[in-house]
Structure 1
Amino acid sequence: MAGEVSVSEETKSLISMLVKEANLSGAAHIKYYTGSELGDGYSSERLAVDIVDDDKQLKLYLKCAIPLTPERICINTMYRHEIDFYKVIYPTYVKFFEEKGIQDGFRNVPKTYGFCEKKFREIIAFENLKAKGFRLFDTKKYMNDSELKLVLRTFAKFHAISFGIKDQRRELHDSFCNDHPCHYEVLKPIGLENFFAKGARDFVAKLDPVEDRNIIEKFSNLEANLLSTFFNLEGQLSSYSILTKFDCWINNMMVLYKDENTEDPLDIMLVDWQCITRASPVHDIGALFYAVASKEVINNYRYYLKVYYDELSRRIRELGSNPEILYPFSILEKEWKIYGTYSIGLAIVLLRGMLAEKEDLTDNVESSDALDSFFSGSVASEKKWLVRAKHIARHAIEHNLI
C-alpha cells in the first residue's frame, strides 16, 4: 500500500464523526493512504483509511473533491448528484423492491458511511471494496463471457427498478430525473468536449487512406456527430427514457472473483454515480459493450442484447409491471441503432485510454498537453487500439449504427 498522506480538516472531521458512530474509542489508530492509481479517478482525490481500535477495525475509502477553480464549478454539481444518489435515490430503490418481497434485487452499490457536503469540499466515505477482495477489471483484456454477462445483468436489475418506479410511481421517477438533468453542457469548461473531440479526430487521422477507405467515408464526421450526441442529449430522448447511471467508464465497476487465480466473477459493485440522468438504457450499456468485447462477441451482439433483455424483462415482471409495454425488445434493438453514434464513438475514444500505459494517463483532461499525452501513447498500445477500434467501426457500418 502506498505511504501515508496528509489530509484536509474536513476529512479529519468526517473520520472523527464516523469513529464515534462506530463506537470506537477516541484512541483509535487512524492511517490514511493514497486510494487509487493515476488514471483511476476523475477530478477527485481518493484516500484509503484504516481505523483500528483494539479488536475492532474499520476500512474505508474516501472520495474527496479537489478544491475547485471557478471554471470547474460543475464538479460541485456532480458531487451533489452523487451524494443525492446514495442518500435518497438508492435507498428508495431498495425500499421499492423490498416492499415487493424481492430479496435478490439491485444491491450492487458500495455501502456509504458518511458525507461531508461542504461546497467544493465534498467527501463521500465508502466501505473499502478493495479490502474485501473486489478489484478493477483489467482494462487491457477483453471481458470474458461470465464477466460481460454479470455486467449486463447487473445493469438490467438497476434499469428494471427505474422502469418499475416510472410505471408505478411516475411522479417520483420524474422528480429524480428532473433533479438530475444531463450536465454534459456544464462539463465543457473542464475540457470534456476537447477530450472527446481529440479522440474522435485522432482515430480518423490514423486510418489508412486505402485500406480503411470505407471507414474514413463513414466516420469523416465522427467528431461533430459525437459532440452533438453528447451535448444535445435531452433533445434525443424518447418516451422510453429512464433514470440511468450514464457513466460507462470501465473503472467505475469493481468485481469480486472466486479466487485470485481465476476470472470467474462472483459479484460486482457499480461506483461513481455522479452522472445520473434521464437517458436510454443503451447509454449505460452500449459504449461499455463495444469497449470491452472481443471481435467474436461483437459479431454476436444480438445474443448479448438478449442476455440483458431477458434479465430486464424478468426483473420488471418481478416488480409487478409489464416489460412488453415499458420497454419491448424491439425498442431496445431500435435504440441500439438510434444511439449508435454515442455507443460506437465513445467506445473508440475510451478504448484508447483503456489500452494506454499508466504513464500515458492523467486525472486532468483540461490542458492541451494532457490531451496530447493521452492520445500519443506507446506505439504498442496504439496498434492494439487501432485494431480493436477499426473492428468496432466496421461492425457499426455493417449494422447501420453510425
Structure 2
Amino acid sequence: MKSQLSGPVQNAINFIIDQGNYKTPPEISISEGSQEGDGYSSKTYAVTIKDKNRNDSLNLFIKYLLDVVKEDWIDTLQSVYNAEHQFYGEIYPVLDKFQKSKHIKNPFDNVPKYFKVNLNNDDIKPIVLENLRSLGYTLRDRKKIIDDAHLRLPIEAFARYHAISYAMKDQEPENFKKLTAGVEDVFSKNYKKFGMDTMIKQCLNQFLNSLDQKMDQEMLERCKNLDEKLLQFFDDLVDNVDEYSALGQGDCWSNNMMFLYDEETNTPINVKLIDWQCQRLSSPLLDFSYFFYTLATKKELDNAEFYLNFYYDTLTQRIAELGSDPNKVYPREIFIKHWRNFSLYGLCMALCVLKVLLFDKDEIPNLMTTESNAMEAFTMVIKNQDVYIERLKDVVEYFMKHNLF
C-alpha cells in the first residue's frame, strides 16, 4: 500500500520518520484509517512506525483530501484544511497553555495529539494525528439511539473548551483578540456551496409532505415559510459575533467524537473531539444545539432543560476555576438569550444530519468528488425514512412547544 500513497501523505510520513531520530530504517505498516461512513470528504490512513531496536511504536492517523476533487472545490477545501491545522498547531496550544497556567484539575484535553509536518510543496497538507484507536477510543454506532452517558461526556467537553475562551478573553483580551483574528467561519460562509440550502429545503419538504393534513394540521401551519426562516438564519450567522462569543468546534455531529470505554461495564469514560475544520468564533449554543438536537430522541427532548443546565453549570464552574467571574463574562440571561436565538441551528442540522445518522452503508455519499449528484444522497428517501420522519417530528414539536421559530 505504501506505493499507492499520495505524494503529500508519503512526504508527511518521511518527515515524521526524519524527526523521530530512528537509528535504523523503521518498519511501516499502513491500513485504512476509518471505515466506510466514518468520514465523507477525506481519505484516511492508519500508520504504524516501529523500530526493531525500540520497544515503542508510533501510531498515526493521517487525513488528507480525496485524490479526485471537483476543481471549484479546491480553494474552499484548502481553507477548511488550513482551519484545522490552525486549531491544532496554533489555537489549541495557546488555550492549553492558558488553562494549565491556572493549575486546574481535569483541564480540557479532549483532542488528539497533533503532529506538525513541514512540506515544501503547494499541496494541501495532510493532517497528522495520534491514532486514537490505538489508545482504545472508538466511534459510537451512529445508528443507535443516544443515551445519557454519551450525551453528558461531549456536553461537558464542549463546556470546558468554551470556558477557556471566556476566561482568556476576560483576563488577556489582547492575546485572545490576536489569537482569534484569523479564525473564519468557513462553513457559514460557504453553506450554499456545501449544498446546505438545497438540503434544508428538500429535507424540510420531504418531512412536511409526510405529515397528515388533518392530524398534523397545527404543525403544517407553524412550518409555513420555515425554510425561508432557516436559510435567513444561516445567512445571518457570519455576522452574529459579539462580546459573548467563544471559540467553538463547529462540526458537532456524532462521528466527530470518539469514546473510551470501561472494559468491565462498557460505559464511556472519556471522549475526544475530532475534526476541527469548521472551528469558528460564535455563540457556544451553536455547538450545543448542533450536538444535542441532532441526537436527542423524545426522551432527551423532554429533559432538555436538564442538559442545558448541565452545560451551563459545567461552563460557569470552569470559568470560575480559571479565575474569571461567570456572571460577568457569560451571565445566565445571555445564555438563555443565546438559546432562544441560536437553537434554530440545531433544527437546521437535524434536518440533514438525522438522515446521515440513519444511512445504511450502501447509501453513504462520496462528497465533493467528480462524481455527479453526490449531494442527492442527503435528500433522497432512505431505507430508514420512517424512523427519520418520526425523529424529526419530535424535534419540530419541541421547537414549536418552546416557540423557537
Assess same fold via TM > 0.5.
yes
Distance in 1, matches of 2:397 and 2:191, equals 31
- Superposition pairs for residues 1-400 of structure 1, below 5 Å? 6-54=4-52, 55-67=55-67, 68-72=69-73, 73-115=75-117, 118-183=121-186, 184-259=188-263, 262-364=265-367, 369-379=373-383, 381-400=384-403
Q: 2:261–2:270: 8 Å Cα contact kept in structure 1?
A: yes
* TM-score using structure 1 length: 0.92
Q: 1:5 to 1:347 in 2, by over 3 A?
A: farther
Q: Quick check: 1:200–1:349 contact (8 Å CA) kept in 2?
A: no
Q: Cα distance 1:347–1:213, how it changes in 2: closer, same or farther (>3 A)? A: same
Change (3 A) 1:337 1:192: same
SS at match of 2:22: coil
1:201-222 Cα deviation digits (max 9, x unpaired): 3322333322222222222323
Q: 1:264-298: CA deviations, max 9, x gaps? A: 11111011111111110110011211121231211
Gapped runs of 5+ residues in structure 1? none
Deviation per CA, 1:308-363: give whole Å up to 9, x if none: 11111110001110111111222222211111321122123211110111211113
How far did residue 35 of structure 1 move? 1.2
Deviations 1:3-47 (A, max 9, x none): 878201221221122123223244212122221223322421111
Of 330-339 and 191-200, deviating more is 191-200
Name stretches of at least 5 consecutive residues in structure 2 with no aligned partner: none
Once residues 362 and 97 of structure 2 are traced to their aligned partners in structure 1, the CA distance between those partners, rounded to angstroms, is 44
Query: Residue 96 of structure 1: CA displacement?
Result: 0.2
Q: After superposing the two structures, state which structure 1 stretch, 359-368 or 109-118, moved more.
A: 359-368
Q: What is the root-mean-square deviation in Å for CA atoms of aligned residues?
A: 2.1
- The alignment partner of 1:220 has SS state of coil
Q: Does structure 1 conserve the Cα–Cα contact (< 8 Å) formed by 2:253 and 2:294?
A: no
The secondary structure found in structure 2 opposite 1:30 is: strand
Distance 1:216 1:343 in 2: 19
Offset of residue 192 of structure 1: 3.8
Could you say if the C-alpha distance between residues 33 and 74 of structure 1 is closer, same or farther in structure 2, counting changes exceeding 3 Å? same
C-alpha contact (below 8 Å) 1:108/1:270 kept by paired residues: yes
Secondary structure at the counterpart of residue 58 of structure 1: strand
Three-state SS of the structure 2 residue aligned to 1:37 is coil
Is the alpha carbon distance of 1:204 and 1:69 closer, same or farther for their aligned partners in structure 2, counting shifts above 3 Å? Answer: same
Give the alignment's TM-score, normalised by structure 2. 0.92
Displacement of 1:104 = 1.6
Identity %: 32
CA–CA distance in structure 1, aligned partners of residues 70 and 143 of structure 2: 34
